[in-house]
């Protein structure tokens, strides 16, 4: 089965859409950067970590199955959840007008900017 880059990216975004607890990147950043002092804040941080980890894992599977998928190119050691969150936070700081971008798209845009394919 041949899957184009666009189709693979669409598949990834569709999955992320179904699993998303977030509507905008600003919500994801807020949960990812919270300093937990209460159980509700800790839950928000764990939800963020799980969400970002899920996007990373899904992209890893899709790009492993379909070699022509190159939204971003991870270094050999991979990308940690913390590094992905850092990329997202930086992306939002550089593009504050994009705060309402769907969280799944913003995360992929941030990773593409931080880890471009050469």
pLDDT over threshold 60, residue 2: no
Q: Which of 6, 34, 11, 21 is nearest to 103 (CA)?
A: 21
> What per-residue confidence (pLDDT) applies to 63?
84
Domain limits at 19? 5-114
Residue partners of 103: CB distance under 8 A and separation at least 6: 16, 20, 22, 23, 24, 25, 27, 28, 51
Helix locations, 1-118, DSSP H: 5-19, 25-32, 39-65, 81-94, 103-114
Number of domains in the chain: 1
Distances (CA, A) of 22 to 32, 73, 76, 107: 12, 25, 29, 12
Summarize pLDDT for 45-69 with one digit per residue, the tens: 999 999 999 999 998 888 888 888 7
pLDDT tens-digit map of 74-99? 998 999 999 999 999 999 999 999 99
Write the CA distances from 108 to 26, 37, 41, 86, integer angstroms.
14, 29, 25, 13
* Residue with the two structure tokens 């899920």: 54
In this prediction the pTM is 0.78
Residue 1's pLDDT is 47
């Amino acid at each position: 089965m041949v899957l184009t880059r666009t189709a693979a990216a669409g598949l990834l975004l569709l999955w992320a859409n179904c699993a998303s607890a977030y509507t905008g990147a600003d919500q994801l950043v807020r949960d990812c950067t919270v300093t937990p002092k209460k159980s509700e804040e800790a839950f928000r941080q764990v939800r963020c970590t799980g969400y970002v980890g899920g996007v990373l894992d899904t992209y890893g599977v899709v790009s492993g199955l379909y070699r022509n998928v190159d939204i971003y190119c991870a270094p050999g050691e991979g990308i940690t959840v913390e590094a992905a969150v850092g990329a997202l936070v930086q992306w939002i700081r550089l593009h504050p007008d994009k705060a309402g971008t769907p969280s799944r798209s913003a995360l992929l845009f941030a990773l593409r900017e931080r880890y471009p394919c050469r």
